[in-house]
Amino acid sequence: MAARFGATIVPFGTVGEEDIVELVLDYDDQMKIPVLNDYIRDINRHAIRVREGMSGEVANERHSIPGMLPKIPGRLYYLFGKPIETRGRYELLKDRENANELYLQVKSSVESCMAYLLKKREEDNYRSVFDRTVHKALNSPLHEIPAFEP
């Protein structure tokens, strides 16, 4: 699609906290609580069946809202990769093999960005909101919290 319009593809990677929320109650846990069990069964009984007529695990529609608690926020990491030009390559990319090669190049670039960010996240001394708050409290307002250099 990008080649059709001569667009530049900019690979982009982002890494956040391992989990933004903590799962407290999943479907199975909720079904063990009598009041919730009745409520969930009633909701599922009256719910619209999107997969009606299907069989197997795909047809197993169990609607419930999982119980979640937010986690203390950590840093989010972003990195833009090297732009990939597609201008003038439309005819070349009509060939499935060449298009797949471009796809793999973009995929590899995004994966490299994410791998780099995962490594940097592990090395980050100010990853936790507590560490950043202590740094701010102990230093003057002119001192920025250190960030990593890509």
Q: Give the HSE-up count for residue 35: Cα atoms under 13 Å, Cβ half-sphere.
A: 0
- pTM, 2 dp: 0.61
Q: What is the pLDDT along the chain (150 residues), one digit of tens a residue?
A: 787 888 899 999 999 877 778 889 998 999 999 999 999 889 888 887 777 777 777 667 777 888 999 888 778 889 999 999 988 877 777 788 888 898 999 999 999 999 999 999 888 888 877 887 887 888 867 677 767 666
Contacts of residue 145, defined as CB under 8 A and 6 or more positions apart, other chains included, come to 126, 132, 135, 136
Q: Side chain identity at 13, as an amino acid letter? A: G
